[in-house]
C-alpha cells in the first residue's frame, strides 16, 4: 500500500496545490492521501468527486497531527525534499522495501519543520533546486513504478479518455459493466 502525506495544508493559500498533489497521487498509483494543517472539507469533496467520475478507490483523510501520524505509520516513510539524498542513488533500495512494506510519501506545505527530516526513513532529493510538491511527487512515483503507472486504468470510471492525436475524446460510461465494450469501440 502506498499513501501520501501532505504537510500543513492552508485553506487560503494551498487549495489548488493540495488538490493537485492529491490528483497526482491518485493518477500515479497511490492508494490514499492524508493531509495535515487546516481541515478542508472542500478539498475532500473535490477529491471524492474526481474519484466518483474517473474511478478507483483512492481515499483522502485528514490528520490533526502529522507528528503522531508519522509515529504510528506501519511501514517506511519517504520525505521528498531538495535537501535529501539524490533520487537516483536511493530509488532501488526504496523499490525493494516497497515490495514488502507499506510506503508513506511525505510532501511539504509551508516551510517544513526540521523534525520531519529526522522522523522519516528516507529524505529524497528530486532535485537540489526549489520545486513543486506536485512535480516532486509525480517524478518520484514515476521512478518508483518505472513508468508502469502511465498504463493505469480505472474500469469503474464514469468517464474515460480515448487516446487521440488531435482534439479531446471522452466516453461517458453508463455503468462499469458497459465500460469495456464502450472503450473497445473507439480503439
Q: With 0-12 CB in 10 A as exposed, 13-18 as middle and 19+ as buried, what is 68?
A: exposed
Q: Which residues of the chain have pLDDT under 50?
A: 176, 179-187
pLDDT digit string, tens, across residues 75-111: 999 999 999 999 999 999 999 999 999 999 999 977 8
| Rounded (10°) angle between helices 11-27 and 41-54 | 20
Instruction: Say what the pTM is.
Output: 0.90
Question: Residue 161 in 3-state DSSP?
Answer: strand
Q: Domain spans of the chain?
A: 2-152, 153-187
Q: Is 90 left (phi over 0), alpha (psi -120 to 50) or beta?
A: alpha
pLDDT digit string, tens, across residues 123-140: 999 999 988 999 999 999
2-152 placed in CATH 3.40.1280.10: yes
Amino acid at each position: 500500500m502506498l499513501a501520501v502525506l501532505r504537510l500543513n495544508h492552508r485553506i487560503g493559500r494551498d487549495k489548488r496545490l493540495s488538490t493537485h498533489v492529491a490528483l497526482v497521487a491518485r493518477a500515479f498509483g497511490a492508494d490514499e492521501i492524508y493531509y495535515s494543517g487546516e481541515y478542508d472539507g472542500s478539498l475532500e469533496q473535490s477529491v471524492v468527486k474526481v474519484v466518483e467520475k474517473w474511478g478507483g478507490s483512492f481515499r483522502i483523510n485528514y490528520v490533526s497531527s502529522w507528528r503522531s501520524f508519522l509515529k504510528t505509520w506501519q511501514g517506511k516513510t519517504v520525505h521528498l525534499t531538495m535537501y535529501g539524498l539524490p533520487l537516483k542513488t536511493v530509488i532501488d533500495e526504496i523499490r525493494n522495501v516497497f515490495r514488502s512494506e507499506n510506503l508513506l510519501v511525505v510532501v511539504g506545505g509551508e516551510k517544513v519543520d526540521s523534525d520531519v527530516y529526522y522522523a522519516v526513513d528516507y529524505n529524497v532529493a528530486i532535485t537540489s533546486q526549489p520545486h513543486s510538491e506536485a512535480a516532486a511527487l509525480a517524478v518520484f512515483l514515476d521512478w518508483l513504478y518505472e513508468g508502469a503507472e502511465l498504463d493505469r486504468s480505472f474500469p469503474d470510471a464514469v468517464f474515460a479518455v480515448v487516446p487521440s492525436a488531435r482534439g479531446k475524446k471522452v466516453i461517458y460510461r453508463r455503468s462499469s459493466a458497459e465500460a469495456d465494450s464502450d472503450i473497445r469501440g473507439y480503439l
